[in-house]
Amino acid sequence: MTFKHIYLAIMLALGILCAFNGLQAQEAKPAAAGGENGAATVHNKTLWEQIHNGGWVMFPIAACSILTLYLIGDGIVRTRSSRVIPPEHLDAVKSAFRNGDYVGAYEFCKTNPSPFSNVCRAAVSSLGDGKTVVEDATMGELSKENSHMQTYISYLSVIGVCTPMIGLLGTVTGMIKAFDVLGSSGIGDPSHLSEAIGEVLVATASGLFIAIPAFGSYYFLRNRAAKALHDIQDTLNSLFRKMPYAQLEGVHIGDEELYAAAPNWVLPTNGEAATA
27/136 same-domain check: no
**How does residue 11 score in pLDDT terms, banded at 50, 70 and 90?**
low
> Looking at residue 8, what is its pLDDT?
54
With respect to residue 210, please indicate whether it lies within any of the assigned structural domains: yes
pLDDT for residue 93: 95
- Mean pLDDT over 207-219 rounds to 92
Q: Note whether 40 and 131 are same-domain residues.
A: no
Question: Does 185 share its domain with 158?
Answer: yes
Q: Does 258 reside within a domain? A: no
Q: Give the pLDDT confidence of 78-95 residue by residue, as tens digits.
A: 999 999 999 999 999 999
Residue 239: is its pLDDT beyond 70?
Answer: yes
Identify the pLDDT of residue 132.
Answer: 93
Residue 199's alpha-carbon distances to 17, 204, 218, in angstroms, are 18, 9, 29
The total of structural domains in the chain comes to 2
pLDDT tens per residue across span 29-52:
444 444 444 444 445 555 555 556
Residue type at 6 in one-letter notation: I
Same domain, 103 and 234: yes
235 and 180 housed in the same domain = yes
Domain assignment of residue 216, yes or no: yes
Residue 258 CB coordination number (10 Å): 7
Assess whether 23 and 125 both reside in one domain.
Answer: no
Are 39 and 118 within one domain? no
Indicate whether 155 and 239 sit together in one domain.
Answer: yes
Mean pLDDT of the chain: 79
Q: What is the pLDDT of residue 102?
A: 93
Q: Is residue 252 part of a domain?
A: no
User: Is the dihedral angle over the CA atoms 24, 50, 15, 206 positive or is it negative?
Assistant: negative
Residues 110-162: tens digit of each pLDDT = 999 999 999 999 999 999 889 999 999 999 999 999 999 888 899 999 999 99
Give residue 16's pLDDT band: very low, low, confident or very high (50, 70, 90). Answer: low
**Confidence at residue 269, expressed as pLDDT on a 0 to 100 scale:** 57
Sign of the torsion angle spanned by Cα atoms 165, 167, 173, 176: negative
Asked if residue 178 has pLDDT above 80, the reply is no
Pair (147, 198) in one structural domain: yes
pLDDT tens digits, one per residue of 20-31: 444 444 444 444
Q: Which domain holds residue 2?
A: 1-44
Is the pLDDT at 228 greater than 90, yes or no? yes
Q: Is the pLDDT of residue 63 over 50?
A: yes
Residue 275, pLDDT > 70, answer no
Give the C-alpha separation, 153 to 226, whole Å.
12
The predicted pLDDT at position 153 comes to: 92
74, part of any domain: yes
pTM of the prediction? Answer: 0.71
Residues 155 and 210 in one domain: yes
Nearest to 72 by CA among 229, 219, 208: 219
SS3 assignment for the chain: CCHHHHHHHHHHHHHHHHHHHHHHHHHHHHHHHHHHCCCCCCCCCCHHHHHHHCHHHHHHHHHHHHHHHHHHHHHHHHCCHHHHCCHHHHHHHHHHHHCCCHHHHHHHHHHCCCHHHHHHHHHHCCHHHCHHHHHHHHHHHHHHHHHHHHHHHHHHHHHHHHHHHHHHHHHHHHHHHHHHHHHHHCCCCHHHHHHHHHHHHHHHHHHHHHHHHHHHHHHHHHHHHHHHHHHHHHHHHHHCCCCCCCCCCCCCCCCCCCCCCCCCCCCEECCEECCC
Quick check: 67 pLDDT over 50? yes
pLDDT at 238: 92
- How far apart CA 185 and CA 181 sit, in angstroms, is 6
Identify the pLDDT of residue 40. Answer: 44
Are 20 and 76 within one domain?
no
- HSE toward the beta carbon, residue 141, CA cutoff 13 A: 22
